[in-house]
Structure 1
Amino acid sequence: MGKNSFQTTRLERMSYGGFFLGQNIIYVIQFQFLMYFYTEYVGLSLGHTTTMLLIAKLWDAFNDPIMGAIVDKVNFKKEKYLPWLRFVTYILPLSMFFVFINIDAAYNVKLIYAYITYIIFGMVYTVSDSPLFSLATVMSRHAYERDTLISHGRLAAALAAILSAAFMSIKVKAGWTLTAGVYCVVAFLVMFPMQFHAKERVKYHRSSDITFQKIFRFLFKNKYLLLYYIGYLAISATNTLQTMAVYFANSNLGDETLVTVIMAVVIIPVIIVAPFLPTMIKAFGKKKLTIYSSAAMIILSVIQYFAGYENLAVFLGIAAVRVTFMQIPLLIYGMFTADCIEYGAYINGERTEGIAFSIQTFITKLGGAISATLSLSLLGLFGYVKQAPIQSADTLEGIWIIMSLVPIIGYAIMILIMYVYKLNEKDVALMMEHNQAKLGLKETSE
């Protein structure tokens, strides 16, 4: 079979992307709207919301490496990753639905309910992420197909962002809880087929007696994984666009439903670019592609700030191009993780996909916690008043700064990280060949 040929079926690839789509519908609506839901609808204070989100996300984030180690440690009879994903197919949408319920109770009870439901949701989501990314590494032995599978997943994530753009418009007519329920049902329906169609074809020899101590020791020996995720953390922590979009639409543009237009316009270009990522990676390599797109994003952010938003068409046009470059590093991060897994197996002699992808999830959630905390803290610094019909001029300028300029910091750090990150596609391909020979790879046709 040729090097770049697919071994998975079209139905498998579609169902794999479908699971990503459902998972990301759930992730995006809580990431983009939950902070606004708590402050503007439930009525929680900025301070309490900030503290609650930070505590919940930090607790959730630190569970991820533990979950990753468990995934590496546990070997089911026939499959390694699919049993976890079958479980979360049913539980994840349900846990998200309960988060968006505003109970009729005293303020402190509402706050406690928010803590409980959000922490439970985060822990359930943790179970879904590492096994899902790890699954791509055992669906086929070829690096090109693995990258293509993950790019299909990231395309599905972009589609989820498109679908989430209609959330506020639907909410106006249906209310918060019913709207969240609709999205959770859609998420479940597109996640459901994968459990029947995906197959774990590639079987690696794995130590039956590997300890948690060894798993974590292998993790800290993987210098490129840890190095890369320092840069990714910087990007995630300063990714204020999605958390601030609804505040910007409501306060600066005067209509919260315009977030539908904003998110649709800035995500559509990503849908166009995502299918070409494997080709772009072949042409430039992941490292150069990250550097070039990050540099372009920084330049466009400065242009965006000075162009302003008084002319909505100009704002949306610049935003569409800016977000395209902004999203490229976010679309290919799973491919970097997969490369680092091969590097880790090469130096350690043991595959630990679960812990590696759990670091990816850990950093994503930690970055989200920092981003939400940073956004709310800066809102408070700029004098934002919750549920106020009109904000001050200083507050409006502050929201614009948070939206347009703050992300520059993270992308500048990522560029610096890329200059000391040494893994390239050629080296990874050689490591894969070495690992497949050394670890006794078997490939089934089942």
Structure 2
Amino acid sequence: MEQSANSMSGIRWKEKFSYGMGEVASGVTFGLVQSVLQKYYTDVLGLGVISIMLLFVLARFWDAANDTICGHVIARLHPDSTGRYRRWFKWFAVPLAACTVLMFLKIPGLSRTGYFVYACITYILFGMVYTCLNVPYGSLAQAVTIDSSERASLSVARSVGGVFGAIPALVLISFCYEKGVDGIKRMSYPIIITGVCIIAVLSMLSYIVLYKGTKERIVEPSKKERKGIFMKSMKALLADRAFVVAAIVAMLYLASQQFSMSYSAYLFQYYFDAPGLTMLPTVFQYLPVAVMMFFATKIGNRFGRREICAYGILAAGVGNLILFLMHTKNVWLYIVVLLISGVGTTFIYLLTWSIASDAIDHAALNSGVEEPYAYSFFSFMRKLGHCVAAVFVNLALFKIGYEGNVLNTANITDSTLTEMYTWSVLVPALLYLSIFILLRFVYPLGKQAVIEQQKAKEEKFSKSV
């Protein structure tokens, strides 16, 4: 039976809103991992920075298997009346909320080893359930519409949802401190666990909106099980330059975001002595998104998504290098320059999922790789970015003598604070410049290539669906 391109597109703003709520749902919980979890582990559980780094690295080894298994199950499980992907939101929204709370639940009386084991179990469990929601969510755009411009608008909706999804965790990390009898501000566990419970409920409700407000227009039946399909799919993906570069870019960009969010909590507490302002760098970097969200899709279509993302991220890298050369102690000057740098990251933030869709389409058209396999690998690469950030954060903390839940006052010297500041600006700068090189000189899907790919995709679906 032939299906026209018109019947596989035509999404309206309500559906875009519902789709964006999926990123709110995942963003509020993942925001806790990005902004709060690192400092919760050091300051509340009292874990050492090397132990935390080991935890994140071990979790990524498990994710290598977990993400690909999840993608295989999604690809092989037959669609039901709701489609192939939406049902997963109904199945796993409540488990994710529960795992989020467990991850921040402090059991009294455990030793440091006991807390480390508990952290490993709950963090890995959270990651497993998160994957069961994130892989189908990432694959959903391919089922909602065939039109690449509409997918670009979904990418913008998802990215805007990510901005709102990040806010609760940023508010929590900024206002979770209480002054002790010694006059030192420390993280308050009652505030942390209360905020986490509220965020978990918000995530669950947002997944309900996603489930009810979206429609799968392109539902292909599960293909017959083929021997070695998993290994063949992985080999095909690794041989696809567009997909590999897009996945590495996503990894490096997430690493830059994760590093900045996690490290800011320490930088603002010790270098700027302003823990209450911790959320402002991220907020100011996201402010340009509020303006460009209305124009990003059109600008991307006009000049090419690869092109504007590459030069935007170059500008952001230069902004961080300027901060390095300035070496300012003025917190507001630091934040203003980050706002200017945020203008550069706006396009890749808003269009990163559109680039991912282009790359996944490229792998599907040229190698026949099914979307769940491609997105599960893409999801793993993003999680690897979290690991890269964790290594940088904990190495930086180790270098300045941060252990347990305090920076030893003997280590608070001008040299230590200078090193802390240097890590905060140079790591994102190097990551941004690496992304520019990959997008501008290695990634093959420029504007014209995407147009030609869209035509080939519509022709394929009109004949086969």
TM-score normalized by structure 2? 0.88
Please give the alpha-carbon distance, in whole angstroms, between the structure 1 residues aligned to 2:416 and 2:345.
25
In the TM superposition, residue 84 of structure 1 has moved relative to its aligned partner by: 1.6
How far, CA to CA, are the matches of 2:326 and 2:463 in structure 1?
55
1:12 aligns with 2:15: yes
Match of 2:283 among 257, 264, 275: 264
Residues 441 and 187 from structure 1, CA distance in 2 versus in 1: closer, same or farther, beyond 3 angstroms?
A: farther
Residue 295 of structure 2: SS of its match in structure 1? helix
**C-alpha displacement at 1:169, in angstroms?**
4.1
Contact between 1:57 and 1:122, CA under 8 Å: does it hold in 2? no
Q: Does 1:225 align with 2:228?
A: no
Evaluate the alpha carbon distance shift between residue 327 and residue 158 of structure 1 in structure 2; reply closer, same or farther with a 3 A threshold.
same
CA contact (8 A) 1:162 1:267 kept: no
Residue number among 69, 91, 98 corresponding to 1:94 in the alignment: 98
- In structure 2, distance between residues paired with 1:40 and 1:92: 24
Unaligned runs of 5+ in 2: 179-189
- Are 1:117 and 2:122 counterparts? yes
Is the contact made by 1:294 and 1:329 (CA closer than 8 Å) also made in structure 2? yes
Equivalent pair of 2:156/2:297 in contact (CA under 8 Å) = yes
Q: Which residue of 2 aligns with 1:300?
A: 319
- CA offset at residue 141 of structure 1? 1.9
- 1:58 paired to 2:42: no
Contact 1:342–1:428 (CA under 8 A) maintained in structure 2: no
| 1:36 aligned residue | 39
8 Å Cα contact 2:143-2:216 kept in structure 1: yes
1:82 partnered with 2:82: no
Are 2:24 and 2:164, in contact at CA under 8 Å, matched by a contact in 1? yes
Q: Deviations over 1:34-91 (max 9, x none)?
A: 0100001111111212211221233224422332233223222331111222222222
1:135 aligned partner, one-letter code: L
Contact 2:99 2:122 (C-alpha < 8 Å) held by counterparts: yes
Instruction: Report the AA paired with residue 28 of structure 1.
Output: G
Aligned AA (1:76)? P
From 317, 335, 338, give the equivalent of 2:336. Answer: 317
- Residues 231 and 410 in structure 1, CA contact (< 8 A), matched pair in contact too: no
- Residue 440 of structure 1 deviates from its aligned partner by 5.0
**TM-score of the superposition, structure 1-length normalised?**
0.91
Aligned equivalent of 2:413: 392
**Which position in structure 1 is the counterpart of 2:181?**
none
Report runs of 4+ in structure 1 exceeding 4 Å deviation.
439-443
CA distance in 2, matches of 1:404, 1:145: 36
Q: Output the CA distance in 2 between the equivalents of 1:140 and 1:202.
A: 7
Of 429, 433, 438, 2:455 maps to 433
Q: 1:91 to 1:205 in 2, by over 3 A?
A: closer
Q: How far did 1:95 drift?
A: 0.8
Q: Which moved more, 1:291-300 or 1:61-70?
A: 61-70
Partners of 1:426 and 1:39 in 2: how far apart?
A: 49
Residue-by-residue CA offset, 1:190-238 (whole Å, 9 max, x unaligned) = 2212212211012346533343234334323422101332344344445
Equivalence for 2:154: 149
Distance 2:51 2:214 in 1: 42
Q: 1:279 and 1:346 mapped to 2: Cα distance?
A: 25
The superposition leaves residues 69-127 of structure 1 with CA deviations (integer Å, 9 ceiling, x where unpaired) of 33223222331111222222222122111111111122221111111100100111111
CA contact (8 A) 1:297 1:325 kept: yes
Shift of residue 439, structure 1, vs aligned partner? 4.4
Q: Greater shift after overlay, 377-386 or 135-144?
A: 377-386
Give the distance between the partners of 1:422 and 1:206, measured in 2 at CA.
30
Structure 1, 248-257 or 423-432: larger mean CA deviation:
423-432
Deviates more, 1:298-307 or 1:52-61: 52-61
1:339 lines up with 2:358 in the alignment: yes
Shift of 1:399: 1.6
Which one-letter code corresponds to 2:102 in the other structure? F
Q: CA 1:193–1:229 in structure 2 vs 1: closer, same or farther (change >3 Å)? A: closer
Superposed displacement of residue 442, structure 1: 7.6
Write the distance in 2 (CA, Å) between the matches of 1:322 and 1:234. 17
1:228 partner letter:
A
AA of the residue aligned to 1:254? D
In structure 1, C-alpha distance between the alignment counterparts of 2:286 and 2:386, rounded to whole Å: 19
Amino acid at match of 2:245: L
Question: Among 264, 276, 279, which residue is 1:245 paired with?
Answer: 264
- Cα distance in 2 between the residues matched to 1:331 and 1:112: 37
Distance in 1 (alpha carbons) for counterparts of 2:366 and 2:241: 11
Aligned partners of 1:204 and 1:441 also within 8 Å: no
- Match of 1:84, SS state, is helix
For the residues of structure 1 that align with 2:107 and 2:156, how far apart are their CA atoms? 39
CA–CA distance in structure 1, aligned partners of residues 158 and 10 of structure 2: 17
Contact between 2:155 and 2:353, CA under 8 Å: does it hold in 1?
yes
Greater displacement, 309-318 / 398-407 = 309-318
- Distance in 1, Cα, partners of 2:201 & 2:462: 42
Equivalent position amino acid for 2:105 in 1: I
Count of residues in correspondence between the two structures: 442
Q: AA paired with 1:178?
A: T
C-alpha separation between the residues in 1 aligned to 2:349 and 2:205? 25
CA contact (8 A) 1:204 1:442 kept: no
Change (3 A) 1:172 1:408: closer
Deviations 1:282-311, CA, capped at 9 Å, x for gaps? 222111112211210121111122333422
Task: Provide the rounded CA distance (Å) in 1 between the counterparts of 2:391 and 2:251.
Answer: 14
Distance 1:247 1:438, change over 3 A: same
Change (3 A) 1:196 1:158: same
Rounded Cα–Cα distance in structure 2 between residues aligned with 1:15 and 1:338? 19
Report deviation, 1:6: 6.4
353-362 vs 69-78, which deviates more?
69-78
Aligned equivalent of 2:393: 375
1:288 alignment partner, one of 297, 302, 307: 307
CA distance in 1, matches of 2:446, 2:221: 26
Q: Output the aligned Cα RMSD.
A: 2.5
